[in-house]
Structure 1
Amino acid sequence: MPLGRTWQVVAGSAAIGLAVALGAVAASGPWDSGQRTAERRHAADRDRVLAAAGHRHTPPPRTPAVTPPAPSAAPVLLPAPASATGAGKGASAGSASATGTAPDPAALKALLDPLMASDGLGTLRTGIVVDAATGTVLYDHRAATPSTPASTTKLATATAALATLGAGHRLTTTVVLGKDGRVVLVGGGDPTLELGGLADDTAAALKARGATSVRLGYDTSLYSGSSLHPIGHNENLAPVTALMVREGRLDDSDSGTADRSFTPARDAADAFADLLRDRGITVEGAVSEHSGRGGTRLAAHQSAPLDELVERMLTNSDNDLAEALARQVARATGRPASFAGGAAAIPDVLRRLGVPLPGASFHDGSGLDGTDKVAATTLARILALAASPAHPELRPVLTGLPVAGFTGTLADRFRATRGAGVVHAKTGTLTGTNTIAGTTVTPAGRLLAFAFLTDGTTDADAAQSALDRLATALTR
């Protein structure tokens, strides 16, 4: 679904399904003015261009200017009194403001316990519901017991990346001219890279120097260690390298599974050579790996801002972006940009944020590694932290969550249920594992953070349905 329609469908579903007030719908995200970060920027750039042109039909510039993030939704997310935040580890004076009355824990237990006993769930079942305004635990079913998180791991990766790098950080791919005269394409860790504009700028820079014939190399030294995930070559993830185009996809898709290149860096360099040739630059000989260290920059390409990359990663459960961002966190914290470096950096950042990590064990940034372990309480506290006015930099963790029945990995779930449009959640699926963690808003307008995880499942569809019923129950 195009991003531009996201707010329309969410507002419509909320009105039809629950007739929740507009402020409460924003709280269920919470979305700034009901929009994702990318949508706000696109609208601001469009309006600025139209105003300058004086009419409605002037197209936006090819590279939109970056606009400041919109302020948080103040009517929904106001600081709670300090005295209200002491209940529950991980709460803070900057928690989301209370709206309405929080569900009664006893009533919630009576509602959720029978659902936690569903035959569709596996041998290990854990869950938690937290009042985002106060940090109070409203429901706890073995919430501190570590379980396989699958793709809900991405919530941790997103939080660590935003807290460490900042929402405006961009991944930069450069082209440099080495001292030996070789042109080198230097990977900046951007799996969303497209090369057309970079080739335009490089060809222009070379021609300005009077160079129309070059040798070409490529540099992937930003990352270290193995590029192959422990699951091996897989349609869910390309080899993790600092240089790739469109996530190494061999088709026209931009999300989901796809056949992937075994050599995405070499493929990117070969494609770049072809683009240079199309622009009148002769590329001599074969493209080869070559260090770009100390070279003179000819051109550069920057990714979308980090907040937009995080939203894309969460909405589409993008494994390539998750592993790229884990490596960026590793580099920013002085660790090797590798699977091990990212796995060590993510929990370190979470600890500094005050997120509890009972029994946590990270081995990647995407959650594809079945040996990852995270407790339900960790996921719920991450979500509550992202709702806090004290941490506006973490808001994309919430705005990127798929919307039940409408977007991303929840587009085909929660249809014709009370949860449609109101449950916003990240899901996870591996063989024998099903998880869901997100936010929802009660009819009274109370923002809840929740996480339900199960291991040892034998029927993925039945487990998924059971988890959806648990999340939907919170909207009653």
Structure 2
Amino acid sequence: MVPEAGRWLIGWWRDAPAPRRGTVRFVAVSTAAGVALAAGAAAVAGPWDGGQRKAERDHAAAVSLARHAGGGGAGAGRGAVTAPPVLGTLRGGARPPGDLGAALEPLLHDPALGPGPAAAVVDVATGERLYGAEEGIPRTPASTVKLATAAAALAALGPEHRIETKVVTGPDGGVVLVGGGDPTLTARPQEGPGPRPAALRDLADATAQALRGHDGGPARTHVLYDASRYAGPALHVIGPNENIAPVSALMVDEGRLDDSAKGPADRTADPAVDAARAFAALLRERGVQVDGEPAEGRADAAARPLAAVSSPPLATLVERALTNSDNDIAEALARQTALASGQPASFEGAARAVTARLAALGLPMDGVRIADGSGLDRADQVSAEFLARLLARAAEPARPQLRPVLTGLPVAGFTGTLRDRYRRDAAGRAVVRAKTGTLTGVNALAGTALSPDGRILAFAFLATATTSPDAAQGALDRLASALTAPR
């Protein structure tokens, strides 16, 4: 029998996001089996199913893996080699991981990492801390704080939660567009495969039909918009910036002023106004006479609902936020956590709510300070131990709601913010999955790696006072790759 923890860990690595889809035959051979298994993940793209890879819940896959592990059956004796070393380590670690200190310490002294970088490595299956260097000292985490934001949101709301944008009746024959806080609401036509965001076009279709009524006659209205679900200042502490729009409960396409879907871009100064104008234009395209320009208003509690659309599941939003290091989604996740926790949906309220949820997960909170959801605020402070423990917590079979924290991690050399890294350092390619963090003078990497003996290791490396981001990123990548190398 494959233990529950081992079964999930194997399924998760097997269905890591990858550049193409295909079929891979898994053969486990001694201690190299773990590396072969993870390298196979680079050739398999598990479809997004409510934010979690289908194989995580695929009993048939687990049974197939158990047959490989247990011998017997039709495949036995025909080149299908059993793999007790791999599955044994997943049961709880029958063998030591080697001298991690000897492997990591020379790399930690790389001048590119600045003075005294912090490091923590934890065995995911057992929770054992395998290595630490200044692991308990809080540092600026940059975007690796998104791991904390994601875990808090999933703990508060669950992976299936969806954010609703709706239209209700307004005064004097008008309608009110009510924002729920979905930053992925789009005014663009859907293109390509993948999870479909909530579409403003669909909302306009349903609203126009509701306004026409059963007779299908001409309709006339005016548009109000309500973004009051969020509180406090909309601007992040870094001010107007191409990395994040003003945080609003009503926006389309993350307030981007170009056709991009990720990365830096010019942003609108007033996302709610732009969303309302786009909605009014779509109503006009559908034959509704819209009087005047949209104006700010409030939906009445007794207003009649006319139409609604919902975001993809929260798990999908988490994965997108982590894979692409999406600041707008991360701040929305923090505010949704605040709303679920009875806090004001502001930067301050979100910080309190996220902190409380993390503490409730039993994580080491000494010195932890959450200032925002995205990591753009240098006031954020976490330790390497905190991040490594968080990743290990997300792998616990008893906490399936946290699983998207892991499935959203970029794959080294293939996806997201690690797509263009690990070109020179091939050792960690495909077998390292990690969240990146970059601010001026700050570089971080936190994720998971597959060790040569089949262990999944959670790690965090935090460096401050760095002078070259490229050199620091290369040094961090070498540290993560060292976890995968034979010792």
- Return the TM-score normalized by structure 1: 0.83
Aligned residues: 428
1:386 aligns with 394
What is the alpha-carbon distance in structure 2 between the residues aligned to residue 147 and residue 179 of structure 1?
51
Q: Deviations over 1:190-231 (max 9, x none)?
A: 000021111111101111166611011000000000000000
Contact 2:223 2:294 in 1 (8 A): yes
1:148 to 140, 154, 164: 140
1:231 aligns with 238
Give the C-alpha shift of residue 459 in structure 1: 1.2
Give the C-alpha shift of residue 178 in structure 1: 2.1
Contact 2:323 2:415 in 1 (8 A): yes
Q: 1:6 to 1:248 in 2, by over 3 A?
A: same
1:58 aligns with none
Q: 1:132 to 1:268 in 2, by over 3 A?
A: same
Q: Percent identity?
A: 54
Contact 1:148 1:370 in 2 (8 A): yes
Q: Deviations over 1:289-309 (max 9, x none)?
A: 010132211000100000111
Q: 1:40 to 1:464 in 2, by over 3 A?
A: closer
- Return the TM-score normalized by structure 2: 0.82
Q: 1:73 to 1:219 in 2, by over 3 A?
A: farther
Is 1:425 matched with 2:417? no
2:256 aligns with 249
1:396 aligns with 404
What amino acid maps onto 1:203 in structure 2? A
1:25 to 35, 38, 54: 38
1:282 to 289, 299, 313: 289
Structure 1 gap ranges (5+): 45-67, 78-94
Is 1:219 matched with 2:211? no
Q: Deviations over 1:113-169 (max 9, x none)?
A: 111111111224100000111111110001000000000000000000111101100
What secondary structure does 2:294 align onto? strand
1:37 to 42, 48, 63: 48
2:327 to 290, 315, 319: 319
2:130 to 123, 138, 144: 138
2:157 aligns with 165
Q: 1:96 to 1:398 in 2, by over 3 A?
A: farther
2:202 aligns with 197
1:270 aligns with 277
2:213 aligns with 208
What amino acid maps onto 1:239 in structure 2? P
Q: 1:408 to 1:71 in 2, by over 3 A?
A: farther
Contact 2:35 2:431 in 1 (8 A): no
Alignment RMSD, CA only? Answer: 3.1
What is the alpha-carbon distance in structure 1 between the residues aligned to residue 247 and residue 127 of structure 2?
37
Give the C-alpha shift of residue 426 in structure 1: 0.1
What secondary structure does 1:173 align onto? strand
Give the C-alpha shift of residue 317 in structure 1: 0.3
Q: 1:269 to 1:336 in 2, by over 3 A?
A: same
Q: 1:257 to 1:440 in 2, by over 3 A?
A: same
What is the alpha-carbon distance in structure 2 between the residues aligned to residue 395 and residue 441 of structure 1?
17
What amino acid maps onto 2:255 in structure 1? G
| Higher mean displacement: 177-186 or 309-318 | 177-186
Contact 1:7 1:35 in 2 (8 A): no
What amino acid maps onto 2:204 in structure 1? A
Give the C-alpha shift of residue 97 in structure 1: 3.9
What is the alpha-carbon distance in structure 2 between the residues aligned to residue 10 and residue 327 of structure 1?
40
Contact 1:442 1:475 in 2 (8 A): yes
Q: Deviations over 1:355-411 (max 9, x none)?
A: 111201111000000111000011001100111101111111001000000000000
Structure 2 gap ranges (5+): 1-15, 67-88, 187-199
Give the C-alpha shift of residue 38 in structure 1: 3.9
